[in-house]
Amino acid sequence: MTAGDRSPVTVIGLGPMGSALTRAFVAAGHPTTVWHRLPGRPDEPSTSGAIRAATLVEAVSASALVVVRVVDHRAMREIVNSLGGTPAGRVVVNLTAGTAEEARDTAAWAASRGVGYLDGAIVTTAEEVGAETASIFYGGPKALYEEHERTLSALGGKGTYLGDDVGLPALYEMALLGVMWSAWAGLLHGLALVSAEDVAAADFLPHATSWLRRVGTSVPELTAGVDRGSYPGPTLGHQVVEAERLLAASRAGGVDEALPAFLLARVEQAIRRGHAGDGFASLIEVLREPHTD
């Protein structure tokens, strides 16, 4: 990155993630101004080389690009509203966690104030920001993203532009969190089953790891089936028996049965809708429209 590429940037919000964003911009050579509503916040990168603005107006006036990471969209709007007309002509990259609808509402709100707006979702830990493993999604006007892509690349990894819809980053983040939590819940349920029979989790670990890798290879096929609307693979008529056994094993082991009960109920519902001869991916029909029976 040449000196001409080191554009100034302002970071609003100095929690753990905001501080990580600040450190990444400073490390990449960008003159970085910071501001937080609570002075003297412990997480503030006081020795990172960032410039601490005395006021919010001073912070926003320092850079054409303003990156915001605060507690929620409401806090973000309150902060920008307090500036009056100062933000006009600025570009706000809102990395505040929220929903897709909140992002779309905030984009409309920003447009009414003459503020360029990109929404983003940080799908990584604060410790990874600035590293190659960092993952951040962006949505909003493509020209606006391309204008600031080089500066945003300081945050590490490969920033992924998803499209003009500012709601897509939050949507992808929620979907990925759902995948992660569901996988973790399934693993923990399996560990609960084996530990109920005095099997050490460490003894089960290599088998669980191998199984998860094998399960991962089926993701492209499941995804393609959802897009096609056809669902090959072992049929639900066969898998319902396995789901019944999982529920029975949970009850016998005194393990919480909510997860296998949920699974069995969804399989039975899909079968009632005529999917007995389809594969597991046909459960998407039930998950999309759970109340049409």
User: What CATH number does the domain containing 155 carry?
Assistant: 3.40.50.720
Residues in a beta bridge with 256:
none
pLDDT in tens, 220-272: 999 999 999 999 999 999 999 999 999 999 999 999 999 999 999 999 999 99
- Does a structural domain hold residue 17? yes
- Does a structural domain hold residue 73? yes
Average pLDDT score over the chain: 91
State the Cα angle at 136 between 133 and 138, rounded to 5°: 155
Burial (Cβ within 10 Å: 0-12, 13-18, ≥19) of residue 252: exposed
- Does a structural domain hold residue 137? yes
Instruction: Tell me which of 120, 148, 164 is where a domain ends.
Output: 164
- When pLDDT is cut at 50, 70 and 90, the band that residue 203 belongs to is very high
Consecutive H or E run containing 138: strand 136-139
Distance of CA 261 to the CA centre of its chain: 28
Which value, in Å, is the radius of gyration of the alpha carbons in the chain? 24
Question: In terms of pLDDT, which residue wins out, 293 or 276?
Answer: 276
Are both 147 and 21 inside the same structural domain? Answer: yes
- Does a structural domain hold residue 237? yes
Instruction: Tell me which of 118, 138, 164 is where a domain ends.
Output: 164
User: Rounded distance, CA 84 to CA 94, Å?
Assistant: 18
* Structural domains counted in the chain: 2
Are both 183 and 127 inside the same structural domain? Answer: no
- Does a structural domain hold residue 40? yes
Burial (Cβ within 10 Å: 0-12, 13-18, ≥19) of residue 98: buried
User: Rounded distance, CA 124 to CA 129, Å?
Assistant: 7
Please give the model's pTM, rounded to 2 decimal places: 0.90
Instruction: Tell me which of 106, 137, 164 is where a domain ends.
Output: 164
- When pLDDT is cut at 50, 70 and 90, the band that residue 147 belongs to is very high
Q: Of 52-61, 83-92, 183-192, 218-227, where does mean pLDDT reach its minimum?
A: 83-92
User: Rounded distance, CA 276 to CA 104, Å?
Assistant: 39
- The CATH number of residue 176's host domain is 1.10.1040.10
Residue 93 has pLDDT above 70, yes or no: yes
Q: What are phi and psi of 256, to 5 degrees?
A: -50, 125
- Where in the sequence is the domain holding 271, given as residue range(s)? 172-288
- Does a structural domain hold residue 293? no
Question: In terms of pLDDT, which residue wins out, 70 or 293?
Answer: 70
- Does a structural domain hold residue 139? yes
- Does a structural domain hold residue 65? yes
| β-pair type (9-12, 65-68) | parallel
Are both 37 and 178 inside the same structural domain? Answer: no
- When pLDDT is cut at 50, 70 and 90, the band that residue 1 belongs to is very low
Are both 155 and 177 inside the same structural domain? Answer: no
Are both 46 and 146 inside the same structural domain? Answer: yes
Q: Which two tokens stand for residue 50?
A: 């960032």
User: Rounded distance, CA 219 to CA 213, Å?
Assistant: 10
- When pLDDT is cut at 50, 70 and 90, the band that residue 70 belongs to is very high
